[in-house]
């Protein structure tokens, strides 16, 4: 294996596990096995109910009316495709699978336009260097991918970005990619994360944005610009979590204080002043996968707080590790635990090691769709199965 390919493989494994929020873990958490679950375990909590709504499902978002969820899932061929399900039903309608209008490799990581009508998603180019290696172009990584849009039924497709795609080992291009499309609240702007160069553990990343226009020929992007790029003294990794409800700030995750990528925090970046605020300042814990509540008062995020992770272990993704959803005030104060997937005293306890990943609020802030990784592997090697969970918040 040549150095370039070996380096890329190490990067792909590391960032794939990171962006999915799934790293190796074993059972842990408060409470001992065999303890009785309280009859009213949700009493006094901010959660009313938690249930699994898709046994196989990854990154997800809500339709504007709150009746449907778009998500991606891995099919038997090893590639991810985009689906839409109606809340309360288990069946899902395929948007990209077998659809001749869409690329037939990896598709997913959706963002539903706030006014409806269109879904933006990440789609792998069908010709690129290393094609056939499925994981680097996983929708949660986005290498060799562009942004595409589709109508809500998958009837038409439109290519929105056109990044340079590496074709040969020595063609002089870095491995580029896109992921995490996020709409502004009024739908006039689209933000996403772009890998644009080499550096750090996972490459160099930045935040881009453009005006989202809808014409007679369908949607397109105009006035594309770099919204945020880590500067001197910062780390190399940053990813878009979402716009604030007033569209004046954006929520980011990254190692922007120079900490290790595995110790990334959540940040708020003021689009008017350029002020960057670290909401966590916890360089030994991994916080990502966040979403802003529609009223702007709270932020839900995933953290592996309480798990130990050896940042220098080249096989860190096999290490025992768990993660949960936490919630905090929008200014970073009032941090408290929201879920207990790894605690047998609580009804959402899965019985196997779990780590939480990305999440999304519905328009009213009453429901949260999240992604968890359930470890189906062995003590020697983790093997995570992604599931969609519906978290109903207490009113």
Asked if 187 and 212 count as a contact pair (C-beta separation under 8 A), the reply is yes
What are the residue ranges in the chain where pLDDT is below 50?
1-39
Whether residue 223 contacts residue 211, with contact meaning beta carbons closer than 8 Å, is answered with: yes
Spatial distance between the Cα atoms of 169 and 221, rounded to a whole number of angstroms: 30
DSSP structural state of residue 143: B
pLDDT of residue 30: 31
pLDDT at 201: 87
Instruction: Give the global pTM.
Output: 0.88
Burial 42-68 (b: 16+ CB within 10 A, else e): beebebeebeebbeebbbbbbbeeeeb
Q: Can you tell me the distance from the alpha carbon of 256 to that of 234, in angstroms, rounded to the nearest whole number?
A: 5
- List the alpha helices (DSSP H) in 133-178: none
Q: Which of 359, 358, 321 is nearest to 342 (CA)?
A: 321
Q: What is the pLDDT of residue 157?
A: 98
Asked if 93 contacts 84 with a C-beta cutoff of 8 angstroms, the reply is yes
| pLDDT score recorded for residue 333 | 95
Burial code (b: 16+ CB inside 10 Å, e: under 16) for 183-221 equals bbbebebbbbbbbbeeebbbbbbbbbbbebeeeeebbeb
- Predicted local distance difference test score (pLDDT) of residue 385: 87
Residue 336 · residue 327 · CB < 8 Å: yes
Residue whose structure tokens are 């990584």: 141
Length of the chain: 395
For residue 378, what are the contacts with CB-CB under 8 A and spacing of at least 6?
A: none
DSSP secondary structure letter of residue 18 = H
Where would I find the H helices in the chain? 3-20
Residue 328: per-residue pLDDT = 96
Cβ atoms of 185 and 247 within 8 Å: the answer is: yes
**What phi and psi, each to the nearest 5 degrees, are found at residue 359?**
-150, 165
pLDDT in tens, 266-319: 999 999 999 999 999 999 888 999 999 999 999 999 998 877 666 777 666 666
Instruction: From 46, 24, 22, 69, select the one nearest 300 (Cα to Cα).
Output: 46
Structural domains present in the chain: 3-393 (2.120.10.30)
């Amino acid at each position: 294996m040549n150095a370039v390919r070996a380096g890329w493989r190490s990067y792909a494994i590391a960032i794939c596990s990171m962006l999915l929020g799934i790293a190796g873990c074993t059972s842990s958490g408060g409470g001992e096995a065999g303890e009785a679950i309280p009859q009213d375990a949700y009493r006094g909590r901010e959660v009313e109910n938690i249930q699994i709504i898709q046994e196989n499902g990854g990154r997800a978002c809500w339709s504007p009316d709150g009746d449907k969820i778009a998500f991606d899932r891995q099919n038997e061929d090893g590639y991810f495709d985009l689906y839409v399900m109606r809340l309360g039903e288990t069946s899902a309608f395929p948007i990209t699978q077998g659809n001749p209008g869409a690329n037939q490799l990896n598709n997913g990581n959706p963002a539903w336009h706030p006014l409806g009508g269109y879904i933006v998603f990440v789609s792998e180019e069908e010709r690129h260097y290393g094609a056939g290696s499925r994981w680097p172009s996983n929708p949660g990584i986005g290498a060799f991918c562009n942004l595409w849009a589709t109508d809500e039924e998958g009837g038409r497709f439109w290519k929105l970005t056109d990044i340079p795609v590496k074709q040969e080992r020595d063609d002089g291009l870095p491995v580029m990619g896109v992921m995490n499309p996020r709409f502004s609240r009024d739908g006039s702007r689209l933000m996403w994360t772009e890998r644009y160069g080499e550096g750090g553990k996972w490459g160099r990343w930045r935040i881009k944005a453009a005006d989202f226009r809808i014409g007679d020929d369908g949607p397109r992007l105009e006035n594309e610009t770099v919204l945020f790029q880590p500067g001197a003294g910062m780390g190399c990794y940053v990813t878009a979590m979402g716009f604030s409800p007033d569209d004046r700030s954006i929520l980011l995750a990254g190692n922007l204080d120079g900490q290790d990528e595995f110790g990334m925090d959540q940040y708020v970046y003021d689009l008017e002043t350029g002020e960057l605020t670290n909401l966590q300042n916890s360089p030994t814990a991994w916080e990502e996968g966040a979403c802003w509540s529609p009223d702007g008062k709270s932020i839900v995020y995933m953290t592996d707080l309480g798990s130990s992770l050896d940042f220098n272990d080249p096989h860190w993704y096999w290490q025992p590790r768990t993660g949960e959803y936490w919630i905090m005030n929008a200014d970073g104060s009032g941090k408290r635990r929201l879920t207990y997937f790894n605690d047998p005293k609580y009804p959402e306890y899965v019985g196997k090691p779990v780590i939480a990943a990305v999440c999304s609020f519905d328009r009213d802030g009453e429901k949260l769709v999240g992604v968890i990784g359930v470890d189906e592997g062995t003590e020697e090697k983790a093997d995570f199965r992604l599931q969609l969970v519906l978290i109903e918040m207490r009113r």
